[in-house]
């Protein structure tokens, strides 16, 4: 009975991980769609035409458009850096070794440690000594370095894994965590800028003020304001959390254990 339940749970987890892989490409399209809607509302509908008004309105529009495009370039660069950068994988034939002189663990690669029995014995002695806990991944059939975790979605072990992010279709680990943190930072700045720049239109919409444009452009402006306000508030929470994790030299997985 217990075995059948375990098989069903394992199958459900497998289907869930497979669904996340398929969802990844759609999430990239969703991110680009939100960027496109925001670009249309800010540049093409509101502040682009304001450049021709002259006076203070043109200066304000120029400043907003400059900041908007600068932050957008940095946001997209960091986003695709997280998407395309490998988060870090375990080196081939990685084995832990003991520095007998200092009594510390050393990470080595090479043919000298290809004996699995010897490797497991070494990892056991390290765990018993209390200096370092070396673990073995049964799914990848290899030893795991410290702070390395297996991602069920990616199907492999990731160095210093923080979490698997559906929005970037990738794990956030040792090699792309910097880009992920910068992505949160620039996303917060960009969404805050858009929220503040469209705030006057949002207020005028509820005060029955006169807003130039067609019903379609008004709807796009309203949607962009709501989306960017929601993302600004949510990303601020994630940014504060990850800054605290960096200051504490820990990861999301380690903090939840």
How confident is the model over 153-168, as pLDDT tens digits?
Answer: 888 899 999 999 988 9
Q: Who contacts 163 (Cβ-Cβ below 8 Å, separation ≥6)?
A: 171, 172, 251, 252, 253
pTM above 0.75, yes or no: yes
Question: What does the pLDDT look like over 105-120, one tens digit per residue?
Answer: 544 443 333 443 334 3
Question: What DSSP assignment string belongs to 25-70?
Answer: HHHHHHHHHHHHHHHIIIIIIIIHHHTTS-THHHHHHHHHHHHHHH
What is the pLDDT confidence band of residue 214, given thresholds at 50, 70 and 90? confident
Q: Who contacts 236 (Cβ-Cβ below 8 Å, separation ≥6)?
A: 188
Q: Give the Cα-Cα-Cα angle 153, 90, 239 (nearest 5 degrees).
A: 60
Q: What distance in Å separates the CA atoms of residue 164 and residue 19, rounded to the nearest whole number?
A: 13
User: What pLDDT does residue 217 have?
Assistant: 80
Q: What is the mean pLDDT of residues 216-238?
A: 92
Q: What distance in Å separates the CA atoms of residue 14 and residue 159, rounded to the nearest whole number?
A: 22
Residues with active-site annotation: 165
What is the pLDDT confidence band of residue 23, given thresholds at 50, 70 and 90? low
Question: What DSSP assignment string belongs to 140-185?
Answer: TTEEE-TT-EEETTTTEEETT--EEEGGGTEEE-TTTHHHHHHHHH
Higher pLDDT, 254 or 212: 254
Q: What is the mean pLDDT of residues 55-76?
A: 93
Q: What is the mean pLDDT of residues 192-218?
A: 79
Count other C-beta atoms under 10 Å from residue 33's C-beta.
10
Q: Are 96 and 48 in contact (CB under 8 A)?
A: no
DSSP assigned state of 97: E
Name which of 213, 186, 194 is nearest 64 in CA terms: 194
User: What pLDDT does residue 40 have?
Assistant: 94
Q: Are 42 and 197 in contact (CB under 8 A)?
A: yes
Question: What does the pLDDT look like over 66-91, one tens digit per residue?
Answer: 999 999 999 999 999 999 999 999 88
User: What pLDDT does residue 121 have?
Assistant: 42
User: What pLDDT does residue 226 have?
Assistant: 94
């Amino acid at each position: 009975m217990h075995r059948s339940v375990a098989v069903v749970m394992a199958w459900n987890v497998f289907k869930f991980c497979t669904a996340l892989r398929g969802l990844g490409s759609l999430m990239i399209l969703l991110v680009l769609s939100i960027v496109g809607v925001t670009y249309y509302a800010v540049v093409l509908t509101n502040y682009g035409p304001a450049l021709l008004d002259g006076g203070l309105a043109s200066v304000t529009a120029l400043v907003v458009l400059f900041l908007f495009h600068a932050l957008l370039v940095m946001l997209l660069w960091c986003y695709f850096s997280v998407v395309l950068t490998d988060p870090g994988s375990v080196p081939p034939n990685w084995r832990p070794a003991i520095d007998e002189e200092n009594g510390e663990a050393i990470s080595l690669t090479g043919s000298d440690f290809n004996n699995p029995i010897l490797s497991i014995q070494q990892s056991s002695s390290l765990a018993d000594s209390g200096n370092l806990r070396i673990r073995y991944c049964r799914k990848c059939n290899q030893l795991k370095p410290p702070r390395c975790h297996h991602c069920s979605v990616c199907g492999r072990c990731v160095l210093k894994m923080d979490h698997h992010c559906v929005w970037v279709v990738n794990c956030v680990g040792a090699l792309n965590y910097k880009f992920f943190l910068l992505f949160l930072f620039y996303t917060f700045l960009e969404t805050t800028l858009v929220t503040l720049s469209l705030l006057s239109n949002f207020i005028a919409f509820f005060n029955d003020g006169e807003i130039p444009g067609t019903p379609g452009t008004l709807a796009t402006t309203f949607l962009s304001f709501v989306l960017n306000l929601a993302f600004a508030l949510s990303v601020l929470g994630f940014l504060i959390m990850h800054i605290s994790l960096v200051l504490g030299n820990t990861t999301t997985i380690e903090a939840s254990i």
